[in-house]
A and B are shown apart, each in its own frame.
Chain A
Amino acid sequence: MTSSARALGLLAVVLALAPLALPPFFLQLLTEIAIVGLFATAFNLLMGFGGMVSFGHAAYFALGAYAAALLVKRAGVPMLLALPAAPLAAAAGALLFGFFIVRLTHTYFAMLSLAFAQIVFTVIFKWKSLTGGDDGLLDVWPPVMLKSPAAYYYFTLATVALSLFVLHSVSESPFGYALRSVRENPRRARFIGINVRRLQLLAFVISGAFSGLAGGLFAFYNGSVFPDFAYFTKSFEPLVVALLGGAQSFFGPLAGAFGFKILEWLVSRQWPVYWPLFLGTIVVLVIVALPQGFVGLAGGQGWRTRLIRKS
């Protein structure tokens, strides 16, 4: 057994035994960490592996959350059937938006993704009759057997673990290789026969789908959904988490989620108002202080040749 497999195994055991040792609050924290970890890993498929940085991934998280919530609230569908709708709805959104977004690169890519996220936000906000608008949708709970913190914790852990397994397979698959080659050198990738846009769109859809699943999981964890799930500041979260944890490794974002959430908990319990300030300051400091951007970020040839510096 390789050392990383052993580490994972140990982690799995620890996580499985957590409910025996930890009070409900920490189980909830771990549940949130898992959800954010999934969101950030899905996001990072695009950023770290694909070299595409989206500033609007909250859109897919929100689409997933609302799809599941709407089915439960408006159509009376049980949670276990509603949850699969989350990645599907998000994937549909990613397909529609991604079709346009992947035609652009770098700054424009980020800007367009932000714009689409704002569309989603505005639609959710304004379509009060369907989505409840500003009031959100409330009482979106899992069925009784999954409702306790421990039960939902296990459910989330299992779902996230399964999703990470799939995402990991994707990153190690021929598609993953092709995606990385596109990140490294899109021109060269074209000349080995890769239809770059189509490949990027597929990556976008996969990333969006799992972001939507994270949103769905969050909806039932939170018990309610609100338009600000789609607001652009929410899009910042997976980005920061992935960067902090390391965008070039598959498990980086997960580690980042852990650190991020713990930090958020520590800061917010003392000084709740200061959390965005804290976050913003950390990000600013890290960017200024790191000499080359986060090591091996969505970097490589593509970004460097795009740098405006003409010298």
Chain B
Amino acid sequence: MADPTDPQELVLQTIGLRKHFGGVLAVNGVDLSVPPGDVRAIIGPNGAGKTTLFNLLTGDLTHDSGRIYFAGEEVSGLPPHQLCRRGMGRTFQITSIFRRLSTLENVQTAFLSHHRRHYNILTPARRLYRDDAFALLERVGLHEQARKPSGILPHGDQRRLELAIALASGPRLLLLDEPTAGMAPRERHEIMALVARITSDTGLTVVFTEHDMDVVFAVAQRITVLYQGSVLTEGSPAAVRANPDVQRVYLGQPASR
């Protein structure tokens, strides 16, 4: 059985990650180990450091100390575009797509970049990776909307599009920042079901932050609970749910809807 702490085996690992803002230690020595195929939820009350941790992982923030390993290689401090090239994909809490490009063009552009053709200034791009893009759009259920400007799509569809964009880069790890934020309950389950389907089909590893506990317990394979910048506990959904510290920390906090 593979040693789960062996860096070679893990898709993502952080050791002693720290970050302050002014006097506040937002992330205080976080150790995280995510094996391949894991669907990991990072939860915690407001102010626990989830967003900061997330931004550290995605290269949006630079850490003060500690290290980040991706697929066995150290990636601490690498800029986002290089993390993407290495196989990290992400979605944003506020949907982040290319609004004035069509749905299809959004995905095509991601493919073009993934295949390193984005410095090509002479061939017409319209047909490139069109079939691949259509296939991906079909997978996320946006096939019908391919030609529309993505900015006019309803919120839920934009989220799906963002997922497709992230997938087009062929990632090994998907980092989802509050994937169901702003969605109605039914949509939430739909999109997480989509994520679950895709990950089980492809063996993709997923790490996501969430406030909605229903979604978390339905989808996650393992849960890391953050509190005040450090890891409070980590384990299977059942174990976490039963953990008295977790219950105390969440006491009085109803599942968000």
Contacts and interface: CB of A to CB of B under 8 A. Distances in A.
Instruction: Give yes or no for direct A-B contact (beta carbon below 8 Å).
Output: yes
Interface string B120-143: 111111101000000000000000
Given A174-B117, A177-B105, A184 B100 contact: yes
Contacts of A17: none
A172 B125 contact: yes
B196 to A, nearest CB: 22
A202 B121 CA distance: 10
A245 to B, nearest CB: 19
A193 B117 CA distance: 11
Contacts of B85: 193
A194 B165 contact: no
A206 B121 CA distance: 10
Contact of A173 (B89, B96, B124): B124
A126 interface: no
Q: Is the interface of A mostly helix, strand, loop or mixed?
A: helix
Given A190-B81, A191-B89, A192-B84, A178 B113 contact: yes
Contacts of A185: 96-99
A174 B169 CA distance: 15
Contacts of B61: none
A173 B92 contact: no
Nearest to A199: B118
Contacts of B108: 177
Contact of A193 (B81, B92, B101, B121): B81
B59 to A, nearest CB: 8
Given A188-B92, A193-B84, A296 B169 contact: no
Contact of B122 (A173, A180, A189, A191): A173
A191 B97 contact: no
Contacts of B84: 190-193
Given A170-B121, A172-B125, A180 B112 contact: no
Contacts of B118: 174-175, 177-178, 194, 199
Nearest to A178: B118
Contacts of A148: none
B67 interface: no
B222 interface: no
Given A191-B81, A192-B113, A192-B114, A174 B100 contact: no
Interface string B136-178: 0000000000000000000000000000011011000000000
Nearest to B90: A191
A301 B99 contact: yes
Contacts of B110: 192
What is the interface residue range for chain A against chain B? 20 to 34
B47 interface: no
A300 interface: yes
Interface in B73-90: 79-81, 84-85, 89-90
Contacts of A192: 84, 109-110, 113-114, 165, 168-169
B119 A202 contact: yes
A54 interface: no
A111 interface: no
* Most central of B58, B98, B112 by chain A CB within 10 Å: B98
A193 B169 CA distance: 8
A184 B120 contact: no
Contacts of B89: 191
A192 B89 CA distance: 8
Interface string A191-207: 11111100100100010
Nearest to B112: A174
Contacts of A181: 98, 101, 106, 109
Given A173-B124, A174-B123, A185-B96, A190 B117 contact: no
Interface string A163-183: 000000110111111101100
B119 A175 contact: yes
A103 interface: no
Nearest to B124: A172
A194 B125 contact: no
Nearest to A299: B100
A187 interface: yes
A270 B84 CA distance: 60
A70 B113 CA distance: 41
Contacts of B125: 172-174, 176-177
B62 to A, nearest CB: 15
Nearest to A198: B119
A120 B127 CA distance: 42
5 contacts: A174-B123, A184-B100, A188-B97, A192-B113, A301-B99
Interface of B: 58, 79-81, 84-85, 89-90, 92, 96-101, 105-106, 108-110, 112-114, 117-126, 128, 165-166, 168-169
Given A170-B121, A190-B79, A193-B113, 19 more contacts: A169-B124, A170-B122, A173-B124, A174-B121, A175-B118, A175-B121, A177-B108, A177-B109, A184-B99, A185-B96, A188-B165, A189-B98, A191-B81, A191-B84, A191-B166, A191-B169, A193-B84, A196-B81, A300-B99
Q: 3 nearest interchain CB pairs?
A: A178-B118, A184-B98, A190-B80
